Amino acid sequence: MPRIVVLGGGIGGLSMAYELRSVIGAQAEVTVVSDTEWFQFVPSNPWVALGWRKPEDIKVHLPQTLAKFGIGFEATGAKHVLPAENALELNDGRRLSYDYLVVATGPALAFDEVPGLGPEANTVSICHVDHAAAAAERWERFCRDPGPIVIGAVQGASCFGPAYEFAMMVSTDLRRRKIRDRVPMTFVTSEPYIGHLGLGGVGDTKSLLESEMRDRDIKWITNARVDEIASDAVVCTEVGSDGNAVRQHRLPARLTMFIPAFRGVSCLMGGDGKGLPGLTNPRGFVLVDKYQCNPTYKNVYGIGVCIAIPPFEQTPVPVGVPKTGYMIESMVSAVAANIAASMAGKAPTREATWNAVCLADFGNDGVAFVALPQIPPRNVNWSARGYWVHAAKVGFEKYFLRKVRTGTSEPGYERLIMKLFGITKLRAEPPHSDPAA
């Protein structure tokens, strides 16, 4: 029986394992390899960082859960991916061979690229649930003795939504505590304008997010390169459209949170720290074709944050393209269909739509956007602001965690509702060519 290994037990990896079980059934052995026994619902991390959720609210213990659905599980983690040998070397030295590999390892957080960045240095982080739990303790101390806050995303970052969410939620929480008047807030971002999001904006995100920041008295600096984060200040350089420095800022800060740039995790890096030739680009992101398949190693697929997507456009300060939840689920559907085809001796034909449906929660209201597809030019380019977004995001969290606990990839009603809105995960199959024609 063929063995399919899914490397990574996050949003992409678990959706992948469940979708494979649903599409391929018992015709293959499916094993998830993670480096932890726990699934974490990453989009809820900003809530954890403000104490609105406990870490255990957003975690699922994987060994028993996956066993219930006949999915193998290893929490040892991969040390090396050996695609020429169709095997993984695990962190305990064992080898695990595969017939198909789906890489879903998410990002490594490149805190080392900016002096003072990261939870081991001077900023809090919301990128991992453990970081968010530590941030929550820091938040309570800060609220007892408040001062200026700087939040944002550094050069090379690709995941801007959570930075906006965190800034707005912080302002909501401070207002609830009636100490907002003691906290000057600045948003510092590598984006060329507010609401760019690494995507040239979606619908009117520029106006929506600028207006939201004005409403909340949050100042902003765009086109910013963060030079250093000290324990009491953020030093950044604002650049012009030609990329040259126009102004340096030293912003006093008692609390800082910055989204770092991402790179590939260490098992996807060579000894020179430059990626694995053929499998990844120099930054360690997995190379995939339109079928999510690696062009060199045809039995290796990539999904989620770990795949290589070039920047959407050149910007004065580099920014990357975000890989969001629904977009990742569309990659999952394509990979399941293409592995099923390959097992049947056929060539892959299914392409993910990379459609994006996102909810950015601000604690009381929020901004939603639909980008079909996520990368412009788009067929649908819509954004809106409202109190309903907060409620929808809470509902989404409960719904996704239920799917993880019940081993479901996409229930029929979800597919039906999304289809009603014209949102699908797979592109239409190309018409069969008729050799007689």
Ligand X SMILES: Cc1cc2nc3c(=O)[nH]c(=O)nc-3n(C[C@H](O)[C@H](O)[C@H](O)COP(=O)(O)OP(=O)(O)OC[C@H]3O[C@@H](n4cnc5c(N)ncnc54)[C@H](O)[C@@H]3O)c2cc1C
Please, which residue, 188 or 327, has the CB nearer to ligand X?
327
Instruction: Report how far Cα 375 is from the mean position of its chain's Cα atoms.
Output: 15
Choices 21-29, 99-107, 167-175, 216-224 (CB under 6 A): range interacting with ligand X = 99-107
Q: Of residues 20, 42, 276, 371, which one binds ligand X by CB under 6 A?
A: 42
Four-CA torsion 73, 75, 77, 81, nearest 10 degrees: -10
Maximum pairwise Cα distance, the chain:
78
93: left (phi over 0), alpha (psi -120 to 50) or beta: left
**Token pair for residue 16?**
């992948």
Choices 101-109, 113-121, 179-187, 343-351 (CB under 6 A): range interacting with ligand X = 101-109
The residue with tokens 């602001």 is 385
Provide the residue type at 337 as one letter. A
Q: Is 105 in the site for ligand X (CB under 6 A)?
A: yes
Choices 10-18, 59-67, 190-198, 288-296 (CB under 6 A): range interacting with ligand X = 10-18
Choices 29-37, 202-210, 398-406, 426-434 (CB under 6 A): range interacting with ligand X = 29-37
Active site residue 267: no
Show the DSSP H helices in 312-411 as ranges.
325-343, 388-406
Kindly write down the DSSP assignment for every residue of 73-120, as one continuous string. EE-S-EEEEEGGGTEEEETTS-EEE-SEEEE----EE-GGGSTT-STT
Per-residue mark of binding to ligand X, 385-414 (x: CB under 6 A) = ------------------------------
Phi, psi of 242 (to 5 degrees): -85, 0
Annotated catalytic residue, options 127, 159, 293, 306: 159
Please state, in angstroms and rounded to a whole number, the distance separating the CA atoms of residues 7 and 77. 8
Please state, in angstroms and rounded to a whole number, the distance separating the CA atoms of residues 255 and 233. 9
Which residue number is nearest to ligand X in terms of Cβ? Answer: 10
Please, which residue, 237 or 374, has the CB nearer to ligand X?
374
Site for ligand X in 306-335 (CB under 6 A): 306, 324-325, 328
Kindly write down the DSSP assignment for every residue of 359-371, as one continuous string. EEE-SS-EEEEEE
Please, which residue, 103 or 221, has the CB nearer to ligand X?
103
Please, which residue, 105 or 237, has the CB nearer to ligand X?
105
**Token pair for residue 97?**
């061979």
Site for ligand X in 260-289 (CB under 6 A): 265, 267
Q: Is 119 in the site for ligand X (CB under 6 A)?
A: no
Cross-strand bridge partners of residue 360: 367
Q: How many residues touch ligand X (CB under 6 A)?
A: 33
Active site residue 143: no
Annotated catalytic residue, options 127, 267, 306, 358: 358
| Residues belonging to the active site | 159, 358
Could you list the residues that contact ligand X (CB under 6 A)? 7-13, 33-36, 42-43, 45, 77-78, 104-106, 126-127, 159, 161-162, 265, 267, 304-306, 324-325, 328, 358
